[in-house]
Structures are given as structure tokens and as C-alpha cells.
Amino acid sequence: MKDIIYEFLDYISLEKKYSDHTEVNYEIDLAKYESFLNGKNYLNVKYEDISQYIISLKKSGYKPASINRNLSTLRSFYNYLVSNKKISKNPFDLIKGMKEEKRLPNYFKYDEFILMLDSLKDDTPLNTRNRLILELLLATGIRVSELVGIKIFDISIKTKEIKIYGKGKKERIVFFSNYTAEILEKYLSVDRGQLLKNKVSDYLFINHLGGVLTDRGVRGIIDKIIKTSGVKSKVSPHTFRHTFATMMLNEGCNIKSVADLLGHSSLNTTSIYTHLTNEEVRRVYLNTHPRAKK
């Protein structure tokens, strides 16, 4: 089974253009499934086998969201097998996902963002780069995979725009502020060249060795900043995306514009942020209306 798994992983990476992060998750899910089969022919699995697999995941402590992700991976894998005529139909088409508890996305407060920036006050090339990462993530709401994919020629400092290549290489334009433009110009004119160490690259973000910064590298940078800044909220690169959407909606931006900026193909995906901002409105009401306060 391992050979066909690697073929599938190459397919989603090279042809489907999935991110490295997604590919790693698929590989983990498929390895778990292969271990469960324990030598059983993966081409001949039945509904009962899949049910037992789901039960095993539950017993191992997996929550509905994680189980559904596993099932999504396997559904894609078996679709690949069908398209390559290894099997005639996908056994996972019969399987419904588990009902998930609806959780609101976490976000941080603007004051916490200032604390993050304040932890990078020393004027070094790495700190300038890291400040730019923070500014761009909050200014644009882009995914971390989109951030590390930005090339110099994708950026227009004059119009304060960046061309972003999202999922499926779908293009969109995002915008940034004067704050971001200021740190971007400094980074491009001074600090990026020092990080490159005489190497050549089209990519905006460079690591400490002069190579291209990766998704994992950005996650490590954010983790370190959170530890040193004293921010109490749980923050990852994706939290910036949640915070961007929440701030935009709280300031009156319409949901369609937010969806376009985030690169969402459906308003349903963006609508979760309206629930979050409604909760903020509720909190303000309960704390300010004289007949609502206790």
C-alpha cells in the first residue's frame, strides 16, 4: 500500500498543488489507516471495515472534527484509486461525516498585537522580517502558505496591493496599510539583502540561512513571539486570519468583501465570523444597556 500512498501524495502535491501542511496531514492520516488495516487488502474494504475504523478512532480519543478530516483524506485517496481504475467505486461515498460541535474561531485583541510588535523592538534583519510577517498577516488575512509564497514582483508598494495565489492557484488582490508599507520598504531596501547572504531569490521572505522561509518556519516565529511578548491568547498564523475577519466585520465591512479578501469561494465559510461578531455585540449590550446590566 505504501507505493500507492506515495503516488497519491505526489499527485496532490504536484498536480493539485496542495500545501506542504496539507500533504503532511494526508500522509499521517493514511499511515494511521494502513496501520489499522494491518495487511488487509485496501482495495477490498467494506462498509463494516470503515465502521470499525471510525470506532477505533473514537476509542483513541479523536474528536468528530479530526475523524471527519481522516474520512475526507480517505475519500480523496479512494477517489484517486477510482480515477486510476484500481477500483470501480469509492467505499467512502457511503460514509457520512460525524456531527461536529460548532466552535467559534479564536482571535486576539489589538492591544495584544501591539505587545507582539513591542517584543521585536531591536533593529535587526530578523526582527524587521518578523515585524513585516505580523503586519502582513493582520493587514491582509492571508493564509501562512500564501504568505511564504509571495514573490517580489507580486507586490506594488505604490498602490499597496499584493497579488495572492490561493487554493487551487486562484488569484486575488489584497491590500495593506501605510504601517505595513513602511516596514516593507525598510525590509526590501536593507534587511532582506542581509538575510540573503549574496544568494538570489524571487521570494519575499527569507530565512536565517538565506533560503526561502517555510510554513513551519513562520509557525515557529509566531510561537517564539507569543512566548516573549507575554500575550495570553492562543495565537497561531491562522489566528491572524480570524482576527482580520473579525476586525473587518466589527468595523462595518460587508461580508461579501471580507469573503473576497479571504479568498473564500462561499459566503457560508465566512458566515462563522458573523456569529463571532454577534457575540461581541451581545457582550457590549449586556455591559452597557442600563436595563441589561445586573
The answer as to whether 125 is a domain residue is yes
Lowest mean pLDDT among 1-5, 8-12, 82-86, 96-100: 96-100
Domain housing 180: 110-285
pTM of the model: 0.64
Residues 153 and 274 in one domain: yes
Within a domain: residue 290? Answer: no
> What is the C-alpha separation between 62 and 166, in angstroms, rounded?
29
Whether 16 and 162 share a structural domain = no
Q: Give the mean pLDDT of the chain.
A: 89
Q: Are residues 218 and 261 in the same domain?
A: yes
Asked if residue 257 is part of any domain, the answer here is yes
Query: One-letter amino acid identity for 71?
Result: L
Q: 198-208: per-residue pLDDT in tens?
A: 999 999 999 99
Instruction: Return the C-alpha cell found at 35.
Output: 496501520
The CATH number linked to 42 is 1.10.150.130
- pLDDT, residue 259, reads 86
Counted domains in the chain: 2
Quick one: 149 and 273 in the same domain? yes
Asked which of 94, 124, 158 is the last residue of a domain, the reply is 94
Question: Phi then psi for 42, rounded to 5 degrees?
Answer: -65, -15
Confirm whether 207 is domain-assigned.
yes
Strand order in the sheet with 161-165: 155-156, 161-165, 171-175
pLDDT at residue 166, rounded to an integer: 84
Confidence of residue 153 (pLDDT cuts 50, 70, 90): very high
pLDDT range class, residue 99, cuts 50, 70, 90: confident
Mean of pLDDT values over 183-200: 96
Query: Does residue 102 belong to any structural domain of this protein?
Result: no
244 within some domain: yes
The pLDDT of residue 37 is 92
pLDDT, mean of residues 208-224: 95
pLDDT band at 281 (very low <50, low <70, confident <90, very high): low
Are 271 and 208 part of one and the same domain?
yes
pLDDT in tens, 41-71: 999 999 899 999 999 999 999 988 899 999 9
Residue pair 224/236 in contact (Cβ under 8 Å)? The answer is no
The verdict on residue 100 lying in a domain is: no
- For residue 294, pLDDT over 60 is answered with no
Q: Do the domain assignments include residue 126?
A: yes
In a 10 Å sphere around its CB, with 0-12 CB exposed, 13-18 middle and 19+ buried, how is residue 245 labelled?
Answer: buried
Give the largest Cα separation in the chain, rounded: 68
Catalytic annotation, residues: 143, 167, 238, 241, 264, 273
